[in-house]
Structure 1
Amino acid sequence: MARSFDPGLQVERTTLAWIRTSMAFAVVSLLMIRTSRPETVVVAVVLALAGLVASAGLGLVQRSRHRDRVTDFNEAVPVPGFRAVTAGTVLTLLLAGAALWCVWS
């Protein structure tokens, strides 16, 4: 495995931030079930499962991206993260909308 010589360990901090985001997705997804009304619990469970799948997907994608970032960093190649950030933003907005629907419906 490639080793980073970054004294600030930027790559590791970025990966840890993505892991925290993934865990937050899982927590919010499960809270949707708890905060939903009895008549909408089935929809809340479906939305929560979708959120958990998104959480797992984020975690797995970022795990593989971490290896690439360490290698690219050691080779002084810039690593653009536009697609990952855009996907995370879109998933966050969708999860927030679903959570609001579960609470206010």
Structure 2
Amino acid sequence: MARSDDPGLQVERTTLAWIRTALAFAVVSLLLIRTGRPETIVVAILLAMAGVITAAGLGLVQRARHRGRVTDFNQADPVHGPRAVLVGTLLTIVLALGALYCVWS
């Protein structure tokens, strides 16, 4: 069975990257309120709230999966999270479309 020379470090970097992504998602969501037009402030606030809740959920899920990943990585059985990537991608697209609506309408 293959073992890593730096057990857990790659997994730690991945977890930290997910947390940074979630934080950036929350910040961009909140900036939507500032850049939105007065006519679309309700939509901007709803999108911002959804973005912050989503960012918190992504961060918490990734932190919770961290322990399992460390164990699986040390046993040379990598764990992939395609659902997290898909959800993050779809929510980014929704947030971008909502931002375009709020800024340009």
**Fold conserved between structures, TM > 0.5:** yes
- Are 2:32 and 1:32 equivalent residues in the alignment? yes
- Once the two structures are TM-superposed, the CA of residue 26 in structure 1 deviates from its matched residue by 0.6
Q: How far off is 1:6 after superposition?
A: 2.2
TM-superposed CA distance for 1:58, in Å, is 0.5
CA distance in 1, matches of 2:87, 2:5: 29
Contact 2:7/2:70 (<8 A) preserved: no
More off after superposition, 94-103 vs 16-25: 94-103
Residue deviations 1:57-86, cap 9 Å, x none? 101111111111111111221212211111
CA distance in 2, matches of 1:98, 1:32: 9
**Aligned-pair distance for 1:8?**
8.3
Query: Equivalents in 1 of 2:100, 2:14: separation in Å?
Result: 28
Q: Could you tell me the TM-score, scaled by structure 1's length?
A: 0.87
Aligned length: 102
Equivalent AA in structure 1 for residue 78 of structure 2: P
**Structure 1 unmatched ranges of 5 or more:** none
Residue 85 of structure 1: aligned partner: 85
Matched residue, 2:62: 62
Amino acid at match of 1:18: W
1:29 and 1:48 in contact (8 A); partners too: yes
Amino acid at match of 1:50: A
Over aligned residue pairs, what C-alpha RMSD do you find?
A: 1.8
Percent identity of the aligned residues? Answer: 74
Q: TM-score, normalised by structure 2?
A: 0.87
